Structure 1
Amino acid sequence: MNAFRTMLLLSALTALFMGLGYTLGGSGGAIIALVVAAGMNLFTYWNADKIVLRMHNAREVDAASAPLLHGLVRELAMRGGLPMPRVYLIDSQHPNAFATGRNPANAAVAATTGLLRILDRDEVAAVMAHELAHVKNRDTLVMTMTATIAGAISMLANFGLFFRSGNGNQNIVALLLAVIVAPFAAMLVQLAISRTREYGADRGGAEIHGNPRALASALAKLSDAAGRIPNPVAERNPAAAALYVVPGLSRRGDSMFSTHPATENRIAALEAMAGELGLHSPPPLADEARERTVRLSALDPLGRRD
């Protein structure tokens, strides 16, 4: 059902783009808009991971440079029946994480050093499981493509302010629709996709990890810290805010203007899921995670020993 809804929303964005092109340039403008939308989708399909990772100056890590983080992701990927994704670290005090890539075979997960400093091992594992659930559900590609098209709609609408056609007042209504309604509608579609997908990733991540309460605890800590610590990337590129496990900008609530559901609603859903499953503590992870639970920062944010 979520996949069907997402396809409808993506179709709506493409239709908005074509409608805006028609308003500004007639049938020829609509055709050009369709071609541009197809080109953007194709480019984004092959380059989504590179676009997002470069935006965050993320650096790839491996079992040697970040054994603890890399080991957690490896174990969780095995649990979820997923190929091992590339693992990236972002040097940022802002605590957050995201996943990107066009499909599970070409996926990447990233976490900030700020996230590793405030969460314990089980909470980090729960967040990484949430991101792997996005990969498994193929949300990563959809979100990047949606952000690209939504941004293009706003850009084209602004373009129409300076290069509008028509005689006198004949095109005034169409112009208002082009420069006001279309960007607003595109924003709503983008936000609707993000909120829908977050609930699915919360549940899928809790299933991969084994205990919904670990993710609930992580969300509470991240939401509080992320609201206080600036995120320069999201401030420069607001569309990036929809990619993170918690909002990348300090906006609260659960309205149509929010990129994410309210954290308290997500936590309530996870608590209900934990009650249904009768789980109170997560099963131990293999390998490194069999060791006692400690804060990652007790050793090093990457798990390296001196």
Structure 2
Amino acid sequence: MFNIMKTAILMAAITALFMAIGAMVGGRAGMMLAFIVALGMNFFSYWFSDKMVLKMYNAQEVDARSAPRFYAMVEELARNAGLPMPKVYLIEEAAPNAFATGRNPEHAAVAATTGILNVLSERELRGVMAHELAHVKHRDILISTISATMAGAISMLANFAMMFGGRDENGRPVNPLAGIAVAILAPLAASLIQMAISRAREFEADRGGAEISGDPQALASALQKIQRYAQGIPLHTAEEHPETAQMMIMNPLSGGGLRGLFSTHPATEERVARLMAMSPGQR
């Protein structure tokens, strides 16, 4: 119930932001048009954003024949979690990462890069996929896909406002500096909305993943290894579509500055410390 409430709050906040930019571009008429578009996008995001994200990353579905060991691992973990078997995808990318998507546990998918399969041991990979299945079990995946879709739309609309200027509520042109400010601040606001939900969600998925796999140390080791190997190996699709970065188990974006300051992921050190505290010898 709490995650349903979080989803509603997220959709309302991003819709309000979308309407504010619409008002900036076209006054009251622009605001109403943005509201209609936002409703349409929320509907689209609910039903189709998972397919869009998987296509964006050129994810290829695999099964027990094409990827027997990986598929069997996900199948076992889904059984441990009491979940329906999700669809399983591989992404041909050297950067080690993984994510889950879908609108509910009955229509879920988990995806991993070929890089993460090459870098991690089988035990560590189990920890990562258990983390992704925890997102499915907590119904976080809908929040991720909706926020990624809407944040991308906000960035495009903000750029439109900067290029073509805007109108006030009486239809008069506004100061061009205001359009530039909107182009900068609107995507930042969308990122803050994502960040507010994503960081707490990652901690919960770490905890849930450790319980599903029964091996918190394996996930802790995986997170440390992913962070080491991911440095200097860009995940190109995430760089082109940064709004999808919050879906990943580890922040795939290169560089620091504002990207680091407003990261949707908690510090790896803190995640590892919490997982190690869950280990049997530490209780």
TM-score using structure 2 length: 0.89
Counterpart-to-counterpart distance in 2, 1:258 and 1:238 = 11
Contact residue 227 and residue 249 of structure 1 kept, 8 A: no
Residues 19 and 252 of structure 1: CA distance in aligned 2, closer, same or farther (over 3 Å): closer
Contact residue 72 and residue 125 of structure 1 kept, 8 A: yes
Rg bigger for which structure? 1
Deviation at 1:23, TM superposition (A): 2.8
Counterpart-to-counterpart distance in 1, 2:145 and 2:57 = 14
Please list the CA deviations of residues 100-124 of structure 1 after superposition, one character each: whole Å capped at 9, or x if unmatched: 1111111111111111111111111
Residues 252 and 195 of structure 1: CA distance in aligned 2, closer, same or farther (over 3 Å): farther
Mapped pair 1:201 → 2:205: yes
1:165 match? 167
2:112 match? 111
Q: Which amino acid aligns with 2:82?
A: G
Deviation at 1:165, TM superposition (A): 2.5
Which one is further off, 259-268 or 21-30? 21-30
1:92 match? 93
Contact residue 85 and residue 106 of structure 1 kept, 8 A: yes
Contact residue 11 and residue 42 of structure 2 kept, 8 A: no
Deviation at 1:252, TM superposition (A): 6.1
Counterpart-to-counterpart distance in 2, 1:251 and 1:216 = 23
- Find 1:274's aligned residue among 252, 272, 279: 279
Deviation at 1:182, TM superposition (A): 2.6
- Equivalenced residue count is 278
Which sections of structure 2, spanning at least 5 residues, go unmatched?
none
Residues 41 and 277 of structure 1: CA distance in aligned 2, closer, same or farther (over 3 Å): farther
1:20 match? 21
Deviation at 1:245, TM superposition (A): 0.8
Cα-Cα RMSD: 2.4
1:298 match? none
* SS class of match (1:260): coil
Contact residue 226 and residue 250 of structure 1 kept, 8 A: no
- The within-5 A match list for 1:1-306 is 4-161=5-162, 162-166=164-168, 175=179, 178-251=182-255, 256-274=261-279, 278=283
Counterpart-to-counterpart distance in 2, 1:153 and 1:111 = 27
Q: Which amino acid aligns with 1:121?
A: E
Q: Which amino acid aligns with 2:107?
A: N
Counterpart-to-counterpart distance in 1, 2:39 and 2:173 = 33
* SS class of match (2:263): coil
Contact residue 21 and residue 29 of structure 1 kept, 8 A: yes
Counterpart-to-counterpart distance in 1, 2:50 and 2:152 = 18
Contact residue 251 and residue 258 of structure 1 kept, 8 A: no
Which sections of structure 1, spanning at least 5 residues, go unmatched?
279-306
| Higher share in helix | 2
Contact residue 3 and residue 140 of structure 2 kept, 8 A: no
Counterpart-to-counterpart distance in 1, 2:177 and 2:232 = 42
Which one is further off, 40-49 or 160-169? 160-169
Deviation at 1:10, TM superposition (A): 3.2
Residues 172 and 232 of structure 1: CA distance in aligned 2, closer, same or farther (over 3 Å): closer
Percent of residue pairs identical: 55
Counterpart-to-counterpart distance in 2, 1:71 and 1:102 = 23
Deviation at 1:201, TM superposition (A): 0.8
1:293 match? none
Counterpart-to-counterpart distance in 2, 1:252 and 1:207 = 32
Please list the CA deviations of residues 55-100 of structure 1 after superposition, one character each: whole Å capped at 9, or x if unmatched: 1221111112211111110111011110000111122211111111
* SS class of match (2:278): helix
Deviation at 1:240, TM superposition (A): 2.1
* SS class of match (1:228): coil
Counterpart-to-counterpart distance in 1, 2:59 and 2:3 = 30
Deviation at 1:145, TM superposition (A): 1.0
Contact residue 195 and residue 259 of structure 1 kept, 8 A: yes
Contact residue 150 and residue 186 of structure 1 kept, 8 A: yes
Which one is further off, 128-137 or 231-240? 231-240
